[in-house]
Structure 1
Amino acid sequence: MKTILGLIAAGAIALAGCSAHRPAAAAREEAAQGQGRGDLIAVEPLGSFDQAHLQQIASEFPGGIAVAGGAKLYRIVYWTRSQGRPTRASGLWSVPERGAAPKGTVMYLHGTQMTRASSPSLPDRVDGNEETAVFAGNGFEVVLPDYIGLGVSTCPQAYVIVAAQVDASIDLLRALRSARARLRRSGSPSLYLMGFSQGGQSVAGLHRALEREPLPGYRLHGSVGIAGPYDLHALMLRKISPAHASAANNAGYFAFIANAYSIYYGHPLDEMLTREYADAVPALFDGTKAPEQVVPALPTDARRLFRPQFLRAFEAGDDTWFARALDENQTYAWTPAAPFRIYYGEADTDVLPESARAFYDYAKPRGGNLSLHPLGAVDHWNSAALSYAPTLAWFEELSAAK
């Protein structure tokens, strides 16, 4: 099972540009294939899991999840864009053992990951095996984008930057159509979304984008967001308040966001952070450091990361570039048409329960098709663990009704 450190750690890779260092022959082959959004570069086999192994994985979750069969795993490498420029990206694709056509496609958007080694499409993945067990083991094909900055991507990690994650996810769905054709596998137009933490925020953004501009070949049937920071700006204000600033993991979240946003939006890190931390943070979050290396280098109180004048302006609600960037990445102020389920733990100190309620309280009175599902007094990780069984049951129900 995923560890809490793996779920809450944060990382960005501050490299010049986003092009990978690849052999000349591979670069020529990719150039010949084109660099359009969703163009397929490669489908790489990653092995398979039999039914017994997947059942062992699924049994770690509450709810008595039964697994019907085994699955094969592949890495999809494809073209997407980052800040308007073509860039390589990757993701995990899990397919049921050959038999009937899949019931649909489940796209899972994962929570915060620190290192490239833990990307879903890599052997040391933190996310991917569980989703393969629960969903591919029960007849759905499953895809997990690695995100910009993880997997094969050499861009800085676009942490809680919705447009980058939505683009990578949509382009993975485009590439999936080509991957199916290459392997001569059948697919299904039925699409189901699930995301946890950072992925919950991204799922809301992806659901919104697909309703505004449907993707040919897919029909969205429903989404599940778990512990997502939908009201990102308000959440950051609550978490930096003296009452919450010393909570576990907060300094890591703020350091990661500051680093990612300074790169993505083009502002010097020392506009936000003190000189000490502006100098230290990029190396801490270079995509190779494990949580146990990062946490001791950050303050216990997240407020100590920031320049006092920046902190005063942020808390006062001044019109700064950072405040505008957080507003740009909100995913609560819209009304879903396809059903959206919001799951959250009432004892979550990583993403406070107010984020779930903000999404519901905005969208429901305006006719949004969404429902709120509190999971009791559970923390961040356990809110995810408790969501797999009901999500599988709901996706099965939606699949049977289509």
Structure 2
Amino acid sequence: MIGTTRRAVAVLGAIAMLAGSAACAAEDKPSADSPAISTPAAQTTRGEIVSETPVAQMSAADTSTYLNSSVRNGVDAYRVVYRTIDTSGRPTTASGLVVLPRTDSRRLRVVSYAHGTLSLKSDAPSVNGATRPDRARTIMFAAAGYAAVAPDYLGLGEGPGFHPYTHAPTEVSASVDLLRAARTVAARAQRELDQDILVTGFSQGGQAATALGKALHTGQVPDFGLAALAPVSGPYDLQNVQTPAALDGRARPASAVFYFAYWLTSMNRIHHLYNSPTEAFQEPYAAEVEALFDGNHTEIAIGAALLTAPQQLLTPKFIAWSRNPTGVARDAVADTDGTCDWTPRVPVHLYAASGDRDVPYANSEHCLQALHSDKVTLIDLGDIDHGSTAGIALPQILAAFEQQAPPT
């Protein structure tokens, strides 16, 4: 019994690291005198604002206290609900965080930050500013003088429906449409945004950031371009790195189970991988796995319910399909992979840790090879765990951005 308890604690601790969670001692600050600004429901243009709610209005001193670090500027942060598209290209809405620095600059350079894996809707950056690190990470860039945005992605924050986990096409569309919404937020403050975007992100957000960087750099987004890219510890190669590591034990079993369950239930809604969960998942997990990813469960709660290993979670058919995806499974993998298949002409700095047992370092090595450009570097953060990489890398990324494209 004691051994079982210790194993449970270790597993739940590993699950807690998936999104690199950290406490940030600050609360949202909307009040009765700072209501949401709404636009008519009849508008359907992508990037149009549905509502805009102030969530943090801080002086430089307040921001320094919030970040526990000396900063130059105060910030004004907003939760924005905006129009975008779902996985089928149909109109929907999503939410995200937009933060403007309190500076005298009329034209602002922009940093887009993509958050790591979240399962609870209310943990998204635009909603949770107290117990998750992503809002603070976004505000860090704004406090340096950038306009900063952080998409919640589809199905998280105040977005309807389920979250399509690591679905690169909608990570891109949600991110781009938030940039469009952010232009409106800036214009209301008599400011404008530079069209070339500095892009970063952690974990799932590393993969989302490379997808966005690819779209911006290859001309898929007429409104914007790419200034620089700096992703952290992303699962860039699901087929050749992440899945094999999950199945052979190189990846921590707790995180491997969580990733498998989240990805399969998400992609099944898009690609119809199975008719019944029993085709993909063994009992007793098949009976509850889909309900766990309804947006109302934390990573800790899900980890406690899936206290197992990949070989006990998945059916033999789906283990074989994971090793060699064909048909709709191959299509689903393609929606996650391929975000590094382009040749950048702007600086790209990949950050990862050789000690990471949740998202193996080989993901970033494969991304480096795929990008195949002298503009790309890979920085090894050393023998540290997955959750620690963002805290170490992001200040370095801010310094690099300030050198490459200083705030105006």
Shorter-chain TM range is 0.7 to 0.9
Confirm whether residue 259 of structure 1 aligns to residue 269 of structure 2. no
Candidates 66, 85, 92, aligned match of 2:90: 85
Residues 1:348 and 2:353 are matched in the alignment = no
Determine which of 8, 26, 31 is the counterpart of 2:41: 31
2:344 counterpart residue number? 336
> What letter corresponds to residue 173 of structure 1 in structure 2?
L
Task: Tell me the distance in 2 between the aligned counterparts of 1:279 and 1:401.
Answer: 51
Q: Does the 8 A contact of 2:119 with 2:298 survive in 1?
A: yes
The Cα of 1:57 is off from its aligned counterpart by 4.3
Task: Give the partner amino acid of 1:139.
Answer: G
Question: Contact 2:41–2:50 at 8 Å: present in 1 too?
Answer: no
C-alpha distance in 1, partners of 2:348/2:298?
Answer: 34
The secondary structure found in structure 1 opposite 2:161 is coil
CA distance in structure 2 between the partners assigned to 1:267 and 1:30 by the alignment: 38
RMSD: 2.5
Of residues 43, 52, 56 in structure 2, which corresponds to 1:43?
52
Which position in structure 2 is the counterpart of 1:310? 318
| CA deviation profile, 1:97-138 (whole Å, cap 9, x unmatched) | 142235411110000012111111114562443224421111
Which residue of 1 is the match for residue 80 of structure 2?
Answer: 76
State the 1:54 CA deviation: 2.5
Q: How far does residue 327 in structure 1 lie from its aligned partner after superposition?
A: 2.9
Distance in 1, Cα, partners of 2:45 & 2:154:
16
1:172-251 → structure 2 map (5 Å cutoff): 172-213=178-219, 215-244=221-250, 247-251=253-257
Q: 1:123 to 1:163 in 2, by over 3 A?
A: same
Q: What is the alpha-carbon distance in structure 2 between the residues aligned to residue 217 and residue 6 of structure 1? A: 37
C-alpha distance in 1, partners of 2:252/2:205? 24
Q: How does 1:126-137 map onto structure 2 within 5 Å?
A: 126-137=132-143
Residue type of the partner of 1:227? S
Q: In structure 1, which of residues 370, 377, 381 is the aligned counterpart of residue 376 of structure 2? A: 370
One-letter amino acid matched to 2:75 = A
**Gap runs ≥5 in structure 2:** 1-12, 21-35
In 1, are the aligned partners of 2:14 and 2:254 still within 8 Å (CA)? no
Q: 1:73: Cα distance to partner?
A: 0.8
Could you tell me which of 92, 112, 116 is aligned with 1:111? 116
1:54 is aligned, of 63, 73, 84, to 63
Shift of 1:162: 0.3
Shift in Å, 1:174: 1.2
- With over 3 angstroms needed to count, the CA separation of the structure-2 counterparts of 1:138 and 1:171, relative to structure 1, is same
Alpha-carbon distance in structure 2 between the residues aligned to 1:78 and 1:332? 28
What do residues 282-341 of structure 1 show as CA deviations (whole Å, max 9, x unaligned)? 1111111123322121132122111112213433x2524223311332123322222211
Deviations 1:167-220 (A, max 9, x none): 000111111122222333343334200110000001111111112225455342
Q: State the identity as a percent.
A: 30
SS at match of 1:225: strand
After TM superposition, the structure 1 = structure 2 runs for residues 137-152 of structure 1, keeping only pairs within 5 Å, are: 137-152=143-158
2:385 corresponding residue in structure 1: 379
Moved more, 112-121 or 35-44: 35-44
Output the amino acid matched with 1:108. Answer: Y
Residue 246 of structure 1, CA deviation: 5.3
Measured in 1, the distance between the counterparts of 2:245 and 2:389 equals 19
Distance 1:164 1:156 in 2: 12
Q: State how many pairs are aligned.
A: 375
SS of the residue corresponding to residue 187 of structure 1 reads: strand
1:67 match: 71
Q: Deviations over 1:33-74 (max 9, x none)?
A: x21211222222113123233324444xxxxx6411211111
Residue 95 of structure 2: SS of its match in structure 1? strand
Alignment-derived partner of residue 328 in structure 2: 321
1:8 paired to 2:15: no
Q: Deviations over 1:120-157 (max 9, x none)?
A: 11145624432244211111111000110101211210
Contact 1:245/1:301 (CA < 8 Å) preserved in 2?
no
Structure 1 gap ranges (5+): 11-25, 60-64
What letter is aligned with 2:82? Y
